Amino acid sequence: MPLVLPDGHPARGAFAEAAGTGGSPPVRVGIVNIMPRLESYEPLLLGPLSRVTRDVEPVFLRLETHAYGSSDHAHLDRFYRTLGAALADGPLDGLILTGAPVEELPFEEVHYWSELVQLLEVARSSIASTLGLCWGGMALGGWLDIPKVLLERKLFGVYENRRLEAEHPLLGAQEDVFRCAHSRHSGVRDVDLERAASEGRVRLLSHSGATGYTMFETPDHRFVMHLGHPEYVAERISFEWDRDRSLGRADVKPPHDFDPAHPATSWSTHREALFESWVRLIARR
């Protein structure tokens, strides 16, 4: 379905029209985009959102305590609003919290952490579901007092995960084993997630020996945590490999099960199924 994007947004030609296609009103999805060069990351989310079977209105949100140093500030100022300004136009049905290049820092040392915690408190009480991706998923876990840990070397490449529930609204048409891209220096220990699950704080949705638990959620679906990058396309993995290699990072090895010279998005089935299932979930609540 076409996305409902504001006038002048550079992605309108590819993904959008001025209004929805009729019928139900569009699903309003807030996007807290704290990735570097935020304008170049946007299409990675808009692509799968444009292919769900409901009209979606992305609402780009900014943090007042974040400098957005690598991003285009003209784009930021024109298309991004604070959460309060966005809510003044009506409620949000869902929220996406992206990754961020701060995963090697403790949460409390991230300069916008206090503001983000306040935003997540609003989301927990008034938004049907928040989907956290990579560091965004770890941040949701941090809000739930689930710690993250540094990895000895970057978890990088494409990995298989096994679904843990035969039927679940977020797993939808996922196969029993699905592929997903990962690109992270931090993670969450299995033992910490299993303890949280035993206490009823989270439900565990997918696992592999290489990645640990990739998907988990609060039992009410309000926080959905995905420690991978399902939104990525193959070219993004190739770009990050070239970037990290040029920086000479000894803790970054060639991406697992992925050929940067011949990139292929082998996890597209998972990406499409996840965003379709999540939008269906928030649209009916």
Q: Maximum distance among all alpha carbons in the chain?
A: 53
Residues in the chain: 285
In angstroms, the Cα distances linking 37 to 53, 72, 73 are 29, 7, 10
Residues forming a β-bridge with 223: 130
Query: For 131-177, how does the pLDDT look when each residue is reduced to its tens digit (9 = 90+)?
Result: 999 999 999 999 999 999 999 999 999 999 999 988 888 887 778 99
pLDDT of residue 167: 85
List, in sequence order, the alpha helices (H) in 186-233.
190-198
Containing 160, the helix (H) or strand (E) segment is: strand 149-163
Query: Is 231 designated active site?
Result: yes
* Residue pair 216/204 in contact by the 8 Å Cβ criterion: yes
From CA 49, how far away is CA 226, in angstroms rounded? 16
Looking at every residue in the chain, the average pLDDT score rounds to 94
Query: For 243-277, how does the pLDDT look when each residue is reduced to its tens digit (9 = 90+)?
Result: 999 999 989 999 999 999 999 999 999 999 999 99
pLDDT of residue 17: 55
Q: What percent of the chain has pLDDT over 90?
A: 89
As a whole number, mean pLDDT of residues 223-236 equals 98
Catalytic residue (choose from 39, 229, 240, 276): 229
Query: For 51-62, how does the pLDDT look when each residue is reduced to its tens digit (9 = 90+)?
Result: 999 999 999 999
Catalytic residue (choose from 134, 180, 182, 276): 134
Catalytic residue (choose from 42, 103, 231, 240): 231
In the predicted model, is pLDDT for residue 18 greater than 50?
Answer: no
Which residue, 191, 187, 130, 201, is CA-closest to 159? Answer: 187
Matching residue, tokens 């992270």: 184
Query: Is 134 designated active site?
Result: yes
pLDDT of residue 97: 98
Domains of the chain: residue spans and CATH: 3-150+187-229+268-283 (3.40.50.880)
Structure tokens at 13: 């030609």
18-41 CB burial, b ≥16 within 10 A, e <16? eebeeeeebbbbbbbbbbeebbeb
Query: For 191-210, how does the pLDDT look when each residue is reduced to its tens digit (9 = 90+)?
Result: 999 999 999 999 999 999 99
Query: Is 272 designated active site?
Result: no
From CA 258, how far away is CA 47, in angstroms rounded? 21
Residue 20 pLDDT grade (very low, low, confident, very high; cuts 50, 70, 90): very low
pLDDT of residue 173: 74
